[in-house]
Structures are given as structure tokens and as C-alpha cells.
Amino acid sequence: MAQDNEDIRSRIRTIADFPKPGIQFRDITTLLLDPEGLRLTVERMAEAVDGQVDLVAGIEARGFLFAAAVGYRLGTGVLLIRKDGKLPGATIAEDYALEYGTDRIAIHADACAPGARVLLVDDLIATGGTARAAVRLLRKAGAEVVQAAFVVDLPELGGADALRGDGIAVNALVGFEGH
């Protein structure tokens, strides 16, 4: 379960009925605009890492922001997980299910050495579809995904629990009820 980080939670704006009625969109742009909020977020994400990691993997696109900052703080490299077709050169990819259809994410084939210890980072975990696909993709590349870190967890949607079921330790700074 997410820690009680009220100072971070208070900097995340909720927009009702976006992108469709009934959805409570958790908007991190207000957190990113706040220098102290951003600093606290990055520090706490980095402090929650258990053990040594070789790379921080960020999921496109907001995950890139936090992965780069956390990687800098931890002294690691940053691995980009992108939508398929966005990376030049040889890639490996993984498909995953969406509400209607499928999508595909990819990394460079040489992005990590076999056995690399990887921290997976994104801004938000909801159903976990993209994060679970990212774990499968990293494992396909030979990485050991040791932990996943998120700014926001929507626990009712079950994504963090699904990742835990896949053997991944999960940390989220704040949790919000609802969708």
C-alpha cells in the first residue's frame, strides 16, 4: 500500500470526468510544476529502492521523467521503454491487452546486459497492463526486475497487486481511491 505522503498527494490535481465520465484523472503536471514537490517525489522514490540496481527503466512517456531523475539520484543508467516503432535499430517487443485491442512496447535489443538488476518506474499504476508487459519485456532481455516504483497507485484497479503476483516488489508514494 502507498505510504502517506500528504505533501506529495496535495500537489497532484484531480480532474473529474476526464478522459470520460466517471474517471477521476490524477494529473501529475501540477506536481511537476512544483520544484519542492518534484524534489520530494524523486528523493522518496530513490530512498525506497531496496538494494542495488544497475538500471532504472522508465515507461513512456511520464515514466521517463521520474526514471531519469531517480536514475541520476541512484547513479544508474536509464532504459527507455517505448511504444513499438519509436526506437531506431534492433529492438525486442512485447504485446499487451488493452480494453479494446492490443498495444506493443519495445526496448533496444542491447539496452541491458543479461542479469542486470532493474528498477521499473512510471508515474501511475492502474490495471498494471503496461507495467506487467514491461516486466515481461525486461525479463525477455535477461534483466532481473527487482522492484517497481510509482508516484500514484489506484489500488482498486489491482495493478500493483498483479505485479506483486508476478514476484515484483512494488512501492507507490500515494494511493487514490477510485478510477
Active site residue ranges: 62, 99
Backbone angles phi, psi at 138, to 5 degrees: -65, -40
Grid cell at residue 170:
512494488
Looking only at the bridges linking them, the beta strands covering 77-83 and 91-98 are unpaired
